[in-house]
């Protein structure tokens, strides 16, 4: 850096480079230092990088040794079978005919065991069958629930005349206990019969007759009395 100097009287200003001269020794020393440094730089070995070359792997096929062929074995000779002719079939055996008697043994039936001959079989007659069981019969009876309505209405003509009487009838009773038919057996007056007939067909109810517990049709004789009160 340049040094600025000033005179004492301030008349003029002068540069420092002009006031001092260059030294030849210093210049030579500087040149020598640079020369040494340049030589050292040139003498320093440089690293040389080889360019990268990719390696290519080449595969070669290695021939395999083929296996040895199988050993040949001696095969037995094929046996030839000659078909033999079958013998002719024998004729079917026919047994001689045997006469079988169609009649059975001589069997004689006897009522007694006396005087039996050797070799005969005695068959006794079967016992008589059991007598048929008699069926259990039960007669028809008046249904207690219908008993209050059993008396026919008193004929008005008989009441006015003050006549009494009776009627005897035979009624046919169905399995349901109803009167399906009525027959007059006797009557004091025709009016009593008509009153009894109408009332029996409409009002009389019975417990039906049964045969072995099964309801069945039956008949019953009934007598109806007509009496006036107070007589």
Could you read off the pLDDT of 163-214 as tens digits, one per residue? 999 999 999 999 999 999 999 999 999 999 999 999 999 999 999 999 999 9
Which residue, among 121, 192, 124, has the nearest Cα to 156 in the 3D structure? 192
The architecture of the domain spanning 136-226 is: 2-Layer Sandwich (3.30)
With bands split at pLDDT 50, 70 and 90, how would you rate the model's confidence at 31? low
Going from the C-alpha of 149 to that of each of 133, 152, 176, 183, the distances in angstroms are 39, 8, 18, 20
Q: Where are the domains of the chain?
A: 136-226
Phi and psi at residue 8, to the nearest 5°? -65, -35
Please indicate whether residue 105 or residue 76 has the higher confidence score (pLDDT).
76
pTM over 0.85: no
Tell me which long-range contacts 60-68 makes (C-beta under 8 A, separation of at least 24): none
């Amino acid at each position: 850096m340049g040094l600025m100097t000033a005179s004492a009287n301030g008349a003029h200003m002068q540069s420092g480079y002009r006031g001092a001269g260059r030294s030849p020794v210093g210049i030579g020393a500087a040149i020598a230092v640079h020369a040494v440094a340049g030589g050292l730089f040139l003498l320093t070995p440089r690293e040389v990088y080889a360019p990268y070359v990719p390696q290519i792997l080449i595969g070669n096929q290695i021939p395999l040794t083929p296996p040895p062929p199988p050993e040949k074995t001696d095969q037995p000779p094929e046996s030839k079978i000659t078909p033999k002719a079958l013998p002719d079939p024998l004729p079917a055996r026919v047994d001689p005919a045997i006469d079988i008697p169609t009649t059975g043994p001589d069997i004689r039936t006897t009522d007694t065991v006396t005087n039996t001959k050797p070799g005969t079989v005695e068959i006794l007659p079967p016992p008589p069958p059991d007598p048929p069981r008699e069926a259990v019969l039960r007669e028809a009876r008046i249904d207690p629930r219908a008993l209050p309505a059993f008396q026919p209405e008193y004929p008005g003509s008989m009441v006015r005349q003050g006549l009494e009487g009776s009627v005897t009838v035979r009624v046919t009773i169905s399995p349901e206990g109803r009167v399906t038919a009525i027959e007059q057996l006797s009557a004091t007056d025709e009016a009593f019969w008509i009153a009894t007939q109408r009332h029996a067909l409409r009002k009389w109810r019975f417990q039906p007759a049964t045969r072995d517990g099964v309801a069945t049709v039956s008949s019953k004789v009934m007598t109806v009395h007509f009496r006036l009160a107070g007589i």
